[in-house]
Structure 1
Amino acid sequence: MKVTETFDIERILALNEEEINSLTFKELMQLIDMIKNYFISSELDIEKQIELYAKAILLLTRAREKLIAIKKQKEEIDKKYEDFLKSVEE
């Protein structure tokens, strides 16, 4: 999925939790960037701004969760590799 081609602000606001959870880290960051750019380039009414702000926080939270999971996965791989090296050296 190409987030930048298929999403506009209304589509971002309509995302539900399941859809957000299915996005990759890269897609989440693209959507966050789109929201940031929209804030910079347009004058929104305060109601729309708060909706976008809330959605951005949800997207950032999910991106952080994914990043933490990836970090843990990398640490596990590194540990397995260290264990392998120790077994080879012995």
Structure 2
Amino acid sequence: MKSEEITVDKVLELKEADIEKLTFKELMDIIETIKGYFISTELDIEKQVVLYSKAITLLTKAREKLITIKKEKEEIDRKYEEFLKNVEEQ
């Protein structure tokens, strides 16, 4: 989802399965868009609450993805350290 395509209605229509497919960057772009809507426009209170809830869901998913990426990096670093240790022992 490109940032120029993001509207409040599109954000509100996002389902859990849609959110799951988004990249970390896409999640952050949508969160920034939501932030912009809160700062620059007057949404009715009901829409604000739903949008806030959606933002929390998006932030949670972004955090999960970040944790996964960190674990993957740590595993790559561990394998690299093993490789270096094996090379040095030879």
The TM-score with structure 1 as length reference comes to 0.96
Give aligned-pair identity as a percent.
65
- Mapped partners of 1:45, 1:7: distance in 2: 18
Out of 16-25 and 3-12, give the one that drifted further. 3-12
Q: CA deviation at 1:6?
A: 2.1
Q: CA deviation at 1:38?
A: 0.5
Please name the residue that 1:62 is paired with: 61
Q: CA deviation at 1:80?
A: 0.2
Q: Give the secondary structure class of the aligned counterpart of 1:44.
A: coil
- Mapped partners of 2:80, 2:52: distance in 1: 42
| Aligned residue-pair number | 89
- Mapped partners of 1:48, 1:6: distance in 2: 19
- Mapped partners of 1:56, 1:89: distance in 2: 49
Point out where structure 1 has 5 or more consecutive residues left out of the alignment: none
Please name the residue that 1:83 is paired with: 82
Counterpart of 1:76, as a letter, is E
Please name the residue that 2:33 is paired with: 34
Give per-residue Cα distances to partners, 1:15-62, cap 9 Å, x unaligned.
000000000000000000000001000111110110100000000000
Q: CA deviation at 1:67?
A: 0.2
Segments of 4+ in structure 1 off by > 6 A?
Answer: none
Point out where structure 2 has 5 or more consecutive residues left out of the alignment: none
Q: CA RMSD in A?
A: 0.8
